[in-house]
Amino acid sequence: MEIIDKAAAMQKRCEEIRQSGKTIALVPTMGFLHDGHLELMREGNWLADILVLSIFVNPTQFGPAEDYQTYPRDMEGDLQKAEEVGVDIVYAPPVDEMYPEGFQTKVIVEGITKQLCGLSRPGHFDGVATVVTKLFNIVKPNIAIFGKKDFQQLTVIRRMARDLNMDIEIIGVPTVREPDGLAMSSRNKYLNAEERESALCLKKSIDMALGLINEGERDVERLKASIREFILKYPFTNIEYVSICDHLSLEEIGTIKEKALLAIAVKVGKTRLIDNWEIDVTT
């Protein structure tokens, strides 16, 4: 496995790979790898000849009051996991390689970034779109792989790739969960034992809502009220949003007709957790 930290060296190496006729899959991450990340890599290994993993805790996607400084990091452990899962190249640039002095460009996706997480994290998706554009330009992958755990992020990247004619296939991978249902996340590390117990309210409230939907409930306001009530029974929880929205535009809907997205963000103690579920009442 190669480890590269300079953009120019990475561009050169990826150009050689393309010249040799091989395809490249890119999995962008912020590291502290867990099985959710590894699933994206397995998908990449399957879909392309060469698998590139990027590890970069991107400062521009964190708000001033957010956890950039304390975000968990474990480069040694990450490299071992990457090697085991069959990554060919790790791109792990330092911050000043990605944002050298004088940097002043932003990629802004409008519309869909104003919903859900965009409401409480202003500028977050500008940071995501900008860093992903840079990674795309550095690696120029044929395929890029993202998790549906961050469904809005995946939607933003798909929109950006289409709008800017980026010739890259964007793949979404289903959320990988702990055995008890909690969506895997690097931030789960912040939870103490009691908070970890309460964190189950996200997936359990989704299951509860799916039960109601199965029984025929289609009214979004009633469903959201039931979900809120369910979550607030758990200690340490503070709901940021509960949304049932169009799965493409992410705009709120009144009634579930065919497909929809159920998206939840809850603070458990100080830890902000999200979960998403694709609803499909046509099957």
Rank residues 60 and 185 by Cβ distance to ligand AMP and give the closer one.
185
Is residue 146 within the footprint of ligand AMP (CB under 6 A)? yes
37 is known as an active-site residue: yes
Size of interface with ligand AMP, in residues (CB under 6 A): 17
Tell me the residue number closest to ligand AMP, measured at CB.
147
Query: How far is residue 278's CA from residue 259's CA, in Å, rounded to a whole number?
Result: 7
Rank residues 29 and 243 by Cβ distance to ligand AMP and give the closer one.
29
CB of 184 to ligand AMP, least distance (A): 4
Residue range at the interface with ligand AMP (CB under 6 A); choices 14-22, 74-82, 183-191, 216-224: 183-191
31 to 50: interface string for ligand AMP, x by CB under 6 A: -----xx-xx----------
Exposed (0-12), middle (13-18) or buried (19+): which is 241, by Cβ within 10 Å?
A: middle
Rank residues 36 and 269 by Cβ distance to ligand AMP and give the closer one.
36
Long-range contacts of 272-275 (CB under 8 A, 24+ apart): 272/187, 272/240, 273/183, 273/185, 273/187, 273/188, 273/199, 273/202, 274/117, 274/149, 274/150, 274/183, 274/202, 275/149, 275/175, 275/183, 275/202, 275/203, 275/206
Give helix 151-163 / helix 124-139 axis angle, nearest 10°: 60
CB of 101 to ligand AMP, least distance (A): 25
Local structure of residue 255 (DSSP, 8 states): B
Is residue 152 within the footprint of ligand AMP (CB under 6 A)? no
Q: How far apart are the first and last CA of the chain?
A: 44
Is residue 276 within the footprint of ligand AMP (CB under 6 A)? no
1 to 30: interface string for ligand AMP, x by CB under 6 A: ----------------------------xx
Is residue 275 within the footprint of ligand AMP (CB under 6 A)? no
Query: Helix %, strand %, coil % for the chain, to 5?
Result: 45, 20, 35
Residues forming a β-bridge with 238: 267
Q: Is the dihedral of CA 269, 154, 12, 22 positive or negative?
A: positive
Among 113, 152, 175, 198, binds ligand AMP (CB under 6 A): 175
CA proximity to 242, closest of 256, 231, 257, 258? 231
CB of 217 to ligand AMP, least distance (A): 27
Among 176, 220, 223, 242, binds ligand AMP (CB under 6 A): 176
Of the listed 34, 37, 124, 247, which one is catalytic? 37
Residues known to be catalytic? 37
Judged by the rule CB under 6 A, the positions of this chain that interact with ligand AMP are 29-30, 36-37, 39-40, 146-147, 149-150, 173, 175-176, 183-186
